[in-house]
Amino acid sequence: MTELAAELAAATAAMVARFPVDLRTPATEADNALWKALTEAGFTALDAPQAAGGQGADLADALVVLGTLTEAGAVTPYAEHALLAGWLAGSVGHALDGVTATVAVVDDGTAVRSADRIQFSGRAIGVPRATTADVIAVLAATADGPVIAVVNRREPGLRVEPGTDLMGLDCCDIVFDDAEVTFSASSPVTVDDLRTRGALVYAVALAAAARAVRERTVRYAAERVQFGRPLAKFQAIQQTLAHMAAQSTMMETAARAATDASSEDIATARDAIAAAKIVTSRSAHDVAAAAHQIHGAIGFTAEHSLGRFTTALWTWRDRYGTEHDWSEQLAARILDGGLDPWHVITGASDPVAQSTRTDAQ
């Protein structure tokens, strides 16, 4: 962790301490005071370009803030606004000042220009924070190439079909029916680029949630006394804790490796990100199940803090691709694309990608 990252983590933790988080599950409301503090401190535009009102920091620094918020159980739109929508709009020099945004992917959209108006049509599936964001930053695949469009959530041509995720937070489908956009531009970012970045964001979030589950479970097993001795003294519990520790540590290691790779070049980090999403999504269920097994019935109550983190593990494992989706993509790179598995295992440079970039130059 860099010096800046350590300072950001400490500052974020201090904000969380100032605005205590309600850890009941399902979540009753977002941590709006904490979100306001993060926004005022400039933490919501850390890795956005300076030309778009951002700080121009490294992606790894912004991911440290995400990890700190996740480990505290805070409910904020940091992932959607700061790491995805802000980055997407910033890629074409557009600043999302004074608004909270979420991001939506439309695989088959249309943008029609008439006079001085641009109207957008399409459908986005499973958009987090769709009912609470001020604007929707859309990345649409169109016949003319990828387009970035920013649409006001209250635009008459935008319809939100209500839905919630396991955490009780809104996660909805959005229908754009000739919705007038406030900004649009041809996108240098492809839908695949956004999904890859989203997979990295949620791999980091899953690893942080698993870390919180592990720490709470280890502490509970040491404090809870059964039959005259702490739970942690029973061999079966020790084995479960050891398995959980191994799984959660593997998740952290994979997420850290993907973060390090993406800080160099997101385009060449796809294999590390794919591996991280596979590992974190696959291990999420095992970590959550082990924690609830050790906590017993108390861990399932709405008031107990454990549920905030285990529910996050169950909810986020499918965001931006399941372990099966990313396993298929990584396998295709190896079987069809000629990627040497050794380069995936060791993290060595990929000669296939290098030769492709050389040919393009």
Sequence-distant (≥ 6) Cβ neighbours of residue 85 within 8 angstroms: 96, 101, 102, 103, 133, 135, 137
| 158-207 pLDDT per residue, tens | 999 999 999 999 999 999 999 999 999 999 999 999 999 999 999 999 99
Joined together, the tokens standing for residue 91 give 């890629």
What is the Cα–Cα distance from 56 to 260, expressed in whole angstroms? 17
- Residue 60 has a pLDDT of 93
**Contact (CB, 8 A) for 232 and 221:** yes
Beta strand residue intervals within 129-182, DSSP E:
135-142, 145-152, 158-161, 171-180
pLDDT band, residue 266 (cuts 50/70/90): low
Which carries the bigger pLDDT value, residue 256 or residue 344?
256
Look at residue 237 in the predicted model and tell me its pLDDT: 96
- Over residues 284-291, the mean pLDDT reads 97
121 in Cβ contact with 179 (< 8 Å): yes
Q: Is the pLDDT of residue 267 over 80?
A: no
Task: Specify the pLDDT at position 351.
Answer: 54
Q: Token pair for residue 265? A: 């070049």
DSSP β-bridge partners for residue 65:
none
Mean pLDDT of 213-242: 95
**Helix (H), strand (E) at residue 90:** helix 86-90
Give the whole-angstrom CA distance, residue 305 versus residue 22: 9
Place 112 in a pLDDT band, splitting at 50, 70 and 90: confident
What are the start-end ranges of the H helices in 143-230?
Answer: 191-223
Query: What average pLDDT does range 150-161 have in this prediction?
Result: 96
Give yes or no for residue 343 having a pLDDT over 70: yes
Assessment of whether the complete model's pTM goes beyond 0.95? no
Report residue 349's pLDDT band, with 50, 70 and 90 as the boundaries: low
Separation in Å, CA 69 to CA 25, 66, 103, 145 = 16, 5, 19, 36
